[in-house]
Structure 1
Amino acid sequence: MKKHMLLLFCTLASMTLHPIFDFQSGTSLKDWYVVNDGVMGSRSAGSLQLDAEGHGLFSGKISLENNGGFSSIRYDCGPKDLSGYRFITLKVKGDGQRYQLRLKASLKEYYSYVSYFETTGDWQVLKLPLNSMYPVFRGRRMDMPDFSGNVLEEIGILIGNKEATSFELRIDAIGLE
């Protein structure tokens, strides 16, 4: 039994977090951009900035007017080889609402692979399995295989819970494990 516990400990200790983006004071947000439902004529508004502590702050207001209801941020991380990684890890502090993590293997894809996560109001470290992310386009699941986990080119976070609300999500880091 001790041998198995030692093996498990050594395996866990050898896992390292490979950062994709680490928010901190002075960090440039130039490769991040916001996409709100205004692209469809609606009125939701979201933004990404650094807060006083240097965390990313994704915040705004969701409007349901004109069939609206979402705000998102996206980051072009360039093509990243995901060989050897099984999880995408987020360190976030949310507002108790549900968000989507969205990945694209290629910027040319019109769909994203998604996984939902719930926030509690406290800092959380969330490990989302890459192989459980499924393809979605305009809120509808597509009849395609789940994320292959081979390459990553874009990361996004979206809120779109079908209710008019204000939102606030602090992000400390995003990485691979």
Structure 2
Amino acid sequence: MMKVLIVLACMISTPITLFDFTEESSQDSWQVEDDRVMGGISQGRFKITEEGYGHFHGYVTTESNGGFSSIQRKMDKMDLGDATVVKLRVKGDGKTYKFRIKADQDTYHSYQQAFETSGKWEIVSLPLADFSANYRGRNVDVPNFDQESIEFIRFMIANKKKQEFSLLIDKVWVD
């Protein structure tokens, strides 16, 4: 009986926080990047709410060959340990968003996974092995995410339609 308990204790991973909004510099550590980098006119904004959440909001339009808005954060390399899933505590507006990660911020492609929001606070679980490689909206022919660290994260909306959006973010972690 004792051996079984020891094995189970070794299998339990400790959650690793990638980001929460209690950091004093959290407002400045996120950058908005819209389709304006390629001539589009979508407009995303980011702020910290009075309640202490990150608020990614704005509008997306496909006019002028646009269609996306995102917020991104470069960070020190975070070792993932035995983590197998990224978790997001978010409150969206019922729209679909994408969450992207990179093990090395200088790599041209990122790994992404889409998630639905419900209009309520929820914890979204995204298995690391299900993140597929993507570059500028196109799939890249490399294996799914199999890295041991993360140093770049991004939230994105790119639903190929004109719409306003609002996503509250509380915390991002791996488990």
TM-score for the superposition, normalised by structure 2: 0.90
Aligned residue for 1:30?
A: 28
Aligned residue for 1:50?
A: 48
Give the drift of 1:97. Answer: 0.2
Task: Detail structure 1 runs of 4+ shifted over 3 Å in the superposition.
Answer: 13-16, 24-27
SS of 2:50 mapped into structure 1: coil
Aligned residue for 1:145?
A: 143
Measure, in 2, the Cα distance between the counterparts of 1:144 and 1:51: 38
Q: Between 16-25 and 113-122, report the one with greater CA deviation.
A: 16-25
Change in CA separation of 1:25 and 1:54 when aligned onto 2, cut-off 3 Å: farther
Unaligned runs of 5+ in 2: none
Kept in 2, the 8 Å contact 1:50–1:56? The answer is yes
Measure, in 2, the Cα distance between the counterparts of 1:51 and 1:126: 21
Give the drift of 1:83. Answer: 2.3
Aligned residue for 2:94?
A: 96
TM-score for the superposition, normalised by structure 1: 0.89
Deviations 1:105-138 (A, max 9, x none): 1111111100010000000101111111010011
Give the drift of 1:64. Answer: 1.0
Give the drift of 1:14. Answer: 4.2
SS of 1:43 mapped into structure 2: coil
Deviations 1:134-160 (A, max 9, x none): 100111111111111312110001000
Identity %: 38
Measure, in 2, the Cα distance between the counterparts of 1:25 and 1:19: 12
Measure, in 2, the Cα distance between the counterparts of 1:15 and 1:21: 18
For residues 1-177 of structure 1, what are the structure 2 equivalents within 5 Å?
A: 14-24=12-22, 26=24, 28-177=26-175
Q: CA RMSD in A?
A: 2.0
Measure, in 2, the Cα distance between the counterparts of 1:78 and 1:14: 25
Change in CA separation of 1:79 and 1:69 when aligned onto 2, cut-off 3 Å: same
Change in CA separation of 1:25 and 1:130 when aligned onto 2, cut-off 3 Å: closer
Kept in 2, the 8 Å contact 1:90–1:174? The answer is yes
Report the AA paired with residue 156 of structure 1.
R
Deviations 1:77-96 (A, max 9, x none): 21111121111110000000
Kept in 2, the 8 Å contact 1:25–1:55? The answer is no
Measure, in 2, the Cα distance between the counterparts of 1:18 and 1:99: 22
Unaligned runs of 5+ in 1: none
SS of 1:163 mapped into structure 2: coil
